[in-house]
Chain A
Amino acid sequence: MTKEVVIKSNKYGMELILSDQIPFQELLQIIGEKFRETGNFFKNAKMAVSFSGRVLSSEEEIKIVDAIMENSDIQIVSIMDQGGLQEERMKNRLEEAGASAGTPKRRIIRKVQQPMPAEAEERPRTSLAKMRSEHTEKASAVDLQGGFYKGNLRSGQVLECPASVTLIGDVNPGARIESAGNVVVLGALKGNACAGMNGDQSCFIFALDMQPIQLQIGDVIAKSPDKVKDGRHLFKKEKTVQGAYSPQIAVAREGTIYVEPMTKGCLDKL
C-alpha cells in the first residue's frame, strides 16, 4: 500500500520520500499510519527530518511533523531542506538540539532555510564560557529561560537574570549575581547578590554558605558586618566556621534585610 511514503533513515535522522500523486490529506494519513506501526521502534529518539519527492509548504511540513509526533514517540527536533550536505547538517542540528535536552517537544521545531543562517545568534546564550569571555556587564546579561546556572562566578563577573536564578557553584568576592526574581546559590555566596532587581521586596536570596559582602533585595541594601580585629586568628577562625555552615535565607522585611537559617518555619513566612 505504501509506495506513497518511503522512510529512509541515516545516522542522524530520517528522510521521507513522499509521492506527489496523492492529495496532502491522504498523504498525512499514510504517514500517521506508518509511524503508528513503526514508531515504537524509535522510542523517544531525537531526530532531524527531511522531505523529498514532493513540494511542501512550511505549514504542510509542520503538519507532517505533528502527525509523526502524535503517532510515535519520536521527537522531531528540526526540519531540514533539501540539499547536498543534508546528513552533515542533520548531524549539526541534532547535536545542537541535544544541548537543550529537556525542552518541550513543540518549541524546538524550527525551520532551517537553505543557506544556513548564522545560528549562534538565534540561540540564547546560555553557556557560562561565553559569558566569561566578555567583560562588560551588558554582555554578561544572559537570557536564561531555565534559570539554572552551573559554575563559579569569579571576581568581576556578573550574572544577570530576568527571572529567578539558581546558581550551582560559588559566588566569589567581587562577583555579583543579579535577578529580577529570587536568587538561589547552591554553594558559597561570598560576593554580592541582588534579588528583585526591579524593586520587588518580596524576593529572597538563599545560599548554602551565606557569607556575602552585600545583599540587596528590592531597594534595600545590607552590608556584611565589619571584620573584628582579632589578632592573628583571622584565617584560623574562618576555617572553623566554614566547616559548620548552614543554609541560610535572606529576606527583606520593613526595609531591613534579615538573614535566617533555613528552617521549616521559614517557608511559611515567605
Chain B
Amino acid sequence: MSEVIVITSGKGGVGKTTTTANVGMGLAMLNKKVVMIDTDIGLRNLDVVLGLENRIVYNLVDVVEGKCRLKQALIKHKKYPELCLLPSAQTRDKDAVTPEQMVELVNELREEFDYVLLDCPAGIEQGFKNAVAGADRALVVTTPEVSAIRDADRIVGLLEAGEMKKIDLIINRIRMDMVKRGDMLKVEDVCDILSINLIGVVPDDEQIVVATNQGEPLVGGSSLAGQAYYNICSRILGEEVPFMDLDAKKGLIGKLKDLFKK
C-alpha cells in the first residue's frame, strides 16, 4: 500500500523543496522505497538540493511525452539506492504536462515505490493542478508569517474542495526567540488559523542553507532542523512522536558536548 504525498504551500520560498528533499531522504533512511517528483517544470530545484543535478539526462516531460522510459529518467540517490528522483524539465513550462498524464505517471510509480513525493511549484495554476492531481495526501508547508499563512489557507481550501483525503501542516522556519518576544506568530496561532493537523515544526536553522548549497539534506543529523525533519518522517509512517522542545536552552554540559561533536 503505497502513498502519494504532495508537498505544497501556495507561497514561494517557504521551503517546499527543502522539505521534499528532507522528507524523501528521511523516509529512505527508514527503509522505505521513495521516489520524489519535481513538478516545478521550468524552475527545477529539487535536483540541486539533492546534489543530483549532474546526473540528469531525461526528465519528467520526456517521460510524459514518451521520449524515454520511466526507468531511464529515474535518478538513484548517491547514498540511498532506494531513493529516486524524477527531475523536471528546465526548458519547458507547466503546460507541457496535464493532470491526467500526472495521474497516469503517479499510478505507474505507485506500484514500485512505498512513497511518491510530489514537489509542487508555488502558485495555484497549472503546475499546482498537475502536482495535486495524483496525490492521496498533502503536506502544506508554511512559515509563521501572515502572507504565507494566507496563501496556505487558500491552498487548504483548494485541496479540501478537491477532496484530498489527508492534509497535514508543517510550520517551517520558526524562531523561538522571536516567538517569545511576541514578534512572531506562535505554533498554536498558526494551527488555529489553518485548523488542520500539525505534523511538524521545523526551526529556522543556518545549517539548512549550508546543506542546501552542498546538495546534502540534513535530515537525521544532529541539528535541530535535521531532527525535526526526521520526526516528521516518523509521523508520516504513522508513529506517535512527541514534538520537540525547540527552545530548550542548552546547559553548559550540553554546549560542551556539542563542541566535542564538532
Contact = CB atoms under 8 A, between A and B. Distances in A.
Contacts of A155: 90
A136 B91 contact: yes
Interface residues on B, range: 10 to 19
A19 interface: no
Nearest to B210: A232
Interface centre among A135, A173, A174, A221 (most CB of B within 10 A): A174
A97 to B, nearest CB: 33
B92 A213 contact: no
A11 interface: no
A223 interface: yes
B136 interface: no
Interface string A180-222: 0000000000000000000000000000000001100000010
Interface string B181-216: 000000000000000000000000000001001111
B54 A229 contact: no
Contacts of A229: 214, 216
Nearest to A228: B214
B41 to A, nearest CB: 10
Interface string B67-107: 00000000000100000000000111100000000000000
Interface residues of A, number: 22
A235 B93 CA distance: 31
B54 A156 contact: no
B214 A227 contact: yes
Nearest to A157: B91
Interface string B32-60: 00000000001110000001011111000
Contacts of B215: 227
A136 B51 CA distance: 26
B103 to A, nearest CB: 24
A20 B91 CA distance: 60
B92 A135 contact: yes
A236 to B, nearest CB: 12
A235 B51 CA distance: 15
Contact of A213 (B44, B53, B214): B53
A224 interface: yes
A121 interface: no
Given A229-B214, A232-B210, A234-B213, A135 B51 contact: no
A158 interface: yes
B62 to A, nearest CB: 11
A234 B214 contact: yes
B214 A137 contact: no
A136 B89 CA distance: 11
B90 A174 contact: yes
B51 A226 contact: yes
Contacts of A137: 91-92
B61 to A, nearest CB: 10
B91 A156 contact: yes
Interface string B124-166: 0000000000000000000000000000000000000000000
A255 B163 CA distance: 52
Given A156-B42, A232-B210, A234-B214, A214 B56 contact: yes
Nearest to A230: B214
A226 B77 CA distance: 12
A145 B248 CA distance: 67
Contact of A224 (B54, B213, B214): B54
Contacts of A173: 53
Contacts of B213: 234-235
Contacts of B91: 135-137, 140, 156-158, 176
B54 A213 contact: yes
Interface in A144-196: 155-158, 173-174, 176
A90 to B, nearest CB: 41
Nearest to A136: B92
Nearest to A212: B54
B51 A156 contact: no
24 contacts: A135-B42, A135-B91, A136-B91, A136-B92, A137-B91, A137-B92, A140-B91, A155-B90, A156-B42, A156-B91, A157-B91, A158-B91, A173-B53, A174-B90, A176-B91, A213-B54, A214-B54, A214-B56, A223-B54, A224-B54, A226-B78, A229-B214, A234-B213, A235-B213
Interface of B: 42-44, 51, 53-57, 78, 90-93, 210, 213-216
Given A156-B90, A223-B54, A226-B78, 8 more contacts: A135-B42, A135-B92, A135-B93, A158-B91, A213-B53, A214-B56, A224-B54, A227-B51
